[in-house]
Chain A
Amino acid sequence: MTTGAVASVVPKSHASRWPVFGWFAFLFLIASQITAIAISPPDRDMGDLQKIMYVHVPAAWMTMLSPLAVLYFGLRYLWTRREEDDLLAASSAEVATTFAGLTLALGMIWARPTWGVWWTWDARLTSMLVLFLMLAGYLALRALIDERERRAQWSAVVGVLGALNVPIVYMSVRWWRTIHQIQSSPETVDRAYVVGLRLNAFAMLFVMIYFVRRRYEAALLERMAERAIERAALGQGAAR
């Protein structure tokens, strides 16, 4: 990584495209939520509680998608040893942890009126909790290891292991007898809810991309600052 890399990535993107993309993502999310609530009729069984689907299901999809980014960039780091890949993996993991926590909270809010309990040790809920804890463990590991290369290597390995849990979370509702319904998708929900679900899924995807990108920019700047400090210290040491 060079100073030139930062000069080309951070200031340019900060000055123009990405903040605009962020505004677009959030405005699109607001519009999608309003549209979904306005056009979807109450569900026959759940009534208006069905509307929680528009936040819970997209958040769950992002929780399963972002660890795949951690997997991809982690493997790329192990292959190329490029520091940018490590920073991208770490940024994706932080965003994934946020979405995992949100998914669990929304699931509990939906579970209380439909199942009568806030939490049950169901296969889907438990595997999602395990994913959340693995992601939190990934972030804790990064905070604990000071040595840069060792931190990147270990966290790449933990990121890969964490991502292996994603197919288990996804398939848990089919592999085990669970109280949780099967995967919600445009194929499994009523046609009246498909447009709202699609809109909110794309909106949440845009928000996730924006979060990962901005977190990466911050991490890149921090890393460049550390490099500059190291260089300054080395220069002072040589001057003495």
Chain B
Amino acid sequence: MSNWMFVGAAFAATWIALLGYLAHLQRTMRRSRDLFERATKAGNR
């Protein structure tokens, strides 16, 4: 494997990790928002 293959793999791994965590954050945020809205609606009933 050439040096550039390893460089490319390193940068790709970085973006996979960061964007993967970002996707996890968006999912968690959406779930928390849904839960919060459901809970406040139930509390108001």
- Taking Cβ atoms with an 8 Å cutoff, the residues of A that contact B are 6, 26, 29, 33, 46-49, 51-52, 55-56, 59, 95, 98, 101-102, 105-106, 109-110, 112-113, 207, 211, 214-215, 217-219, 221-222, 224-226, 228-229, 231-232, 235
Contact = CB atoms under 8 A, between A and B. Distances in A.
20 contacts: A26-B18, A29-B18, A52-B6, A56-B10, A98-B21, A102-B14, A106-B10, A110-B10, A113-B3, A113-B6, A211-B22, A217-B29, A221-B29, A222-B32, A222-B36, A225-B38, A228-B42, A228-B43, A232-B39, A232-B43
B6 A102 contact: no
Interface residues on B, range: 20 to 34
Contacts of A219: 32
Nearest to A111: B6
Contacts of A101: 17
A49 B43 contact: no
Nearest to B6: A113
A174 to B, nearest CB: 25
Given A33-B11, A109-B9, A110-B10, A207 B18 contact: yes
Contacts of B25: 211, 214-215, 218
Interface in B1-19: 1, 3-4, 6-7, 9-11, 13-14, 17-18
B35 A221 contact: yes
A219 to B, nearest CB: 8
A110 B6 contact: yes
